[in-house]
Amino acid sequence: MAEQPYRTVIGLEVHVQLLTKTKLFCGCSTRFGLPPNSATCPVCIGLPGVLPVMNRRAFDLALRAALALNCQIASFTKWDRKNYYYPDLPKNYQISQYDLPFSHDGWLEIDTPAGSKRIGIIRAHLEEDAGKMLHDEKGTGKDSLVDLNRAGTPLLEIVSKPELSSPEEAKAYLEEIRLLLRETGVSDCEMQEGSLRCDANVNVHLPQADGTVAATPIVEVKNLNSFRAVERAMRYEAQRQFEQFQKDGLRLGQTPKATAGWDEDRGVTRVQRRKEEASDYRYFPEPDLVPIVVDAAWLERVRSEMGELPSVARARMQAEYGLTPYDARVLTGQGRAVTAYFEAVAKACGDAKAASNWVTNKVLATRKDQKAEGVTFPMRPEDLAGLICQQKAIGLNKQMAEEVYARMLQDGTSAREAVDRLGIKAVGAGDLAEVVRKAIAANPKAVADFKKGKAAAAQAIKGAVMRETKGTAPPDLVQQLLMEELQKA
Ligand SMILES: [Zn+2]
Q: What is the per-residue pLDDT across 162-191, written as a single tens digit (0 to 9) for each?
A: 999 999 999 999 999 999 999 999 999 998
CA of 27 to the centre of ligand 1 (A): 6
* Cα 13 to Cα 382: distance, rounded to the nearest angstrom: 44
196 Cβ neighbours under 8 A, 6+ residues apart? 14, 15, 16, 17, 174, 177, 178, 181, 187, 189, 190
CA of 30 to the centre of ligand 1 (A): 9
SS (H, E, C) 266-317: CCEEEEEEECCCHHHHCCEECCCCCCEECCHHHHHHHHHCCCCCHHHHHHHH
255 pLDDT more than 90: no
Run of H or E including 259: strand 258-263
Q: Residue 252 — pLDDT band, cuts 50, 70, 90?
A: low
CA of 261 to the centre of ligand 1 (A): 30
Q: Which range, of 131-135, 261-265, 344-348, 432-436, averages the lowest pLDDT? A: 432-436
CA of 103 to the centre of ligand 1 (A): 26
What SS3 state is found at 50?
coil
Q: Residue 286 — pLDDT band, cuts 50, 70, 90?
A: very high
375 pLDDT more than 70: no
193 pLDDT more than 60: yes
CA of 132 to the centre of ligand 1 (A): 15
pLDDT digits (tens, 9 = 90+) for 199-227: 999 999 998 888 888 899 899 999 898 99
**Rg of the chain, C-alpha, whole Å:** 30
Run of H or E including 437: helix 429-442
If you count DSSP H runs as helices and E runs as strands, how many of each does the chain have, helices first?
Answer: 16, 17
328 pLDDT more than 70: yes
Give me the pLDDT at residue 96, please: 97
Q: Residue 359 — pLDDT band, cuts 50, 70, 90?
A: very high
Are residues 20 and 61 in contact, defined by beta-carbon separation less than 8 angstroms? yes
Alpha carbon separation from 94 to 17, 198, 279, 281 (Å, rounded): 15, 18, 15, 10
pLDDT digits (tens, 9 = 90+) for 100-120: 999 999 999 998 988 889 999
CA of 355 to the centre of ligand 1 (A): 49
CA of 127 to the centre of ligand 1 (A): 15
Run of H or E including 128: strand 115-128
Average pLDDT, whole number, for the chain? 90
pLDDT digits (tens, 9 = 90+) for 120-130: 999 999 999 99
Run of H or E including 116: strand 115-128
CA of 23 to the centre of ligand 1 (A): 7
253 pLDDT more than 60: no
Query: Both ends of the chain: CA-CA distance in Å?
Result: 55
CA of 363 to the centre of ligand 1 (A): 44
* DSSP symbols for 184-217: TTS----GGGTSEEEEEEEEEEEE-TTS-EEEPP
Closest CA to 221 of 253, 255, 263: 263
CA of 26 to the centre of ligand 1 (A): 5
CA of 52 to the centre of ligand 1 (A): 9
Rounded average pLDDT over 145-154: 96
Rounded average pLDDT over 383-402: 86
Ramachandran category for residue 115: left, alpha or beta (phi over 0 → left; psi -120 to 50 → alpha): left
CB neighbour burial string for 87-99, b if at least 16 within 10 angstroms, e if fewer = ebbbbebbbbbbe
Give me the pLDDT at residue 12, please: 98
* Cα 285 to Cα 291: distance, rounded to the nearest angstrom: 9
* Cα 397 to Cα 425: distance, rounded to the nearest angstrom: 13
Half-sphere exposure of 432 (CA within 13 A, CB side): 24
Are residues 425 and 470 in contact, defined by beta-carbon separation less than 8 angstroms? no
What SS3 state is found at 77?
strand
Rounded average pLDDT over 6-11: 96
Q: How many CB atoms lie within 10 A of CB 335?
A: 17
pLDDT digits (tens, 9 = 90+) for 18-48: 999 999 999 999 999 999 999 999 999 999 9
| Residue 273: exposure state from Cβ atoms within 10 A (0-12, 13-18, ≥19) | exposed
Are residues 231 and 167 in contact, defined by beta-carbon separation less than 8 angstroms? yes
CA of 295 to the centre of ligand 1 (A): 29
